């Protein structure tokens, strides 16, 4: 038997990835899982792969929803998808110049730190280029799951593109079989820390 290489964690973007994107949503009643999300997260848990959420919520900085609204939406996400091992949330906006708002790597680094794993052993799953840029900047493997809203150039620039969350889990868990994949995988060239 090959020794299985287990990802340290899978870090999911929230809006447009785990749940349907309702811009600046503060209403738990509008939370709706993306197709395959419930089963995808459940399969990772069964494989004992930690799961986390890394999400930009600039609506808080913009005053479009309160932190309490956001907490209630996140609680609803966990009601529908089950508990996550970590949440890393940026409540800033572009003009704030923080180090956490994707495409900066801060959320990925924070979630990895909470889970006590290296960002290099994490998989970041998202629906737009900002998610992939954050993954790359943190040294993580990024997998893009495009929606109809994803821009074509962001799909073309992604190191790895999956059809849906089911496909993501197949990719992540199949890498647990067989040696050497971490070295030969196409995303390996993107590994490395960047200054930020
Ligand atoms: Mg998104
Ligand atoms: Zn931030």
Above pLDDT 90, what percent of the chain?
85
Token pair of 13 as six digits: 């973007």
Can you give the pLDDT at residue 4? 53
Can you give the pLDDT at residue 183? 43
Per residue in 105-164, pLDDT (tens digit) is: 999 999 999 999 999 999 999 999 999 999 999 999 999 999 999 999 999 999 999 999
Compute φ and ψ for 53, nearest 5 degrees.
Answer: -120, 135
Confidence class of residue 176 from pLDDT cuts 50, 70 and 90? low
Average pLDDT over residues 93-109: 97
Can you give the pLDDT at residue 70? 97
Could you tell me if 70 and 39 are in contact, meaning their C-beta atoms sit under 8 angstroms apart?
no
Better-predicted residue by pLDDT, 194 or 33: 33
Protein residues within 5 Å, CB atom, of ion ligand 2? 90, 92, 98, 100-101
**DSSP character for 19?**
B
Distance 99 CA to ligand 2 centre (A): 6
CA distance 88 to 107: 5
> Torsion angle of alpha carbons 55, 56, 60, 65, nearest 10°?
-60
Better-predicted residue by pLDDT, 4 or 40: 40
Better-predicted residue by pLDDT, 103 or 179: 103
Helix (H) or strand (E) holding 85: none
Token pair of 164 as six digits: 């849906």
Distance 130 CA to ligand 1 centre (A): 8
Residue 35's contacts (CB-CB under 8 Å, 6 or more residues apart) are 164, 165
In 55-69, which positions are buried (b, 16+ CB within 10 angstroms) versus exposed (e)? bbbbbbbeeebeeeb
Ligand closest to 99 (CA) is 2
């Amino acid at each position: 038997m090959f020794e299985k290489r287990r990802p340290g964690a899978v870090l999911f973007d929230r809006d447009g990835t785990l749940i349907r994107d309702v811009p600046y949503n503060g209403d738990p009643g509008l939370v709706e899982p993306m197709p395959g999300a419930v089963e995808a997260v459940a399969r990772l848990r069964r494989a004992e792969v930690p799961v986390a959420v890394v999400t930009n919520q600039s609506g808080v900085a913009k005053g479009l929803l309160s932190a309490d609204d956001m907490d209630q939406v996140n609680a609803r996400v966990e009601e529908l998808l089950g508990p996550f091992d970590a949440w890393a949330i940026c409540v800033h906006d572009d003009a704030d110049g923080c180090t956490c708002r994707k495409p900066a790597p801060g959320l990925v680094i924070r979630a990895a730190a909470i889970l006590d794993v290296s960002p290099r052993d994490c998989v970041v799953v998202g629906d737009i280029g900002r998610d992939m840029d954050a993954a790359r900047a943190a040294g993580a493997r990024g997998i893009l799951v495009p929606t109809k809203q994803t821009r074509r150039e962001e799909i073309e620039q992604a190191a790895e593109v999956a059809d849906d969350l089911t496909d993501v889990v197949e990719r992540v868990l199949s890498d647990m079989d067989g040696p050497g994949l971490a070295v030969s995988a196409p995303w390996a060239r993107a590994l490395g820390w960047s200054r930020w």
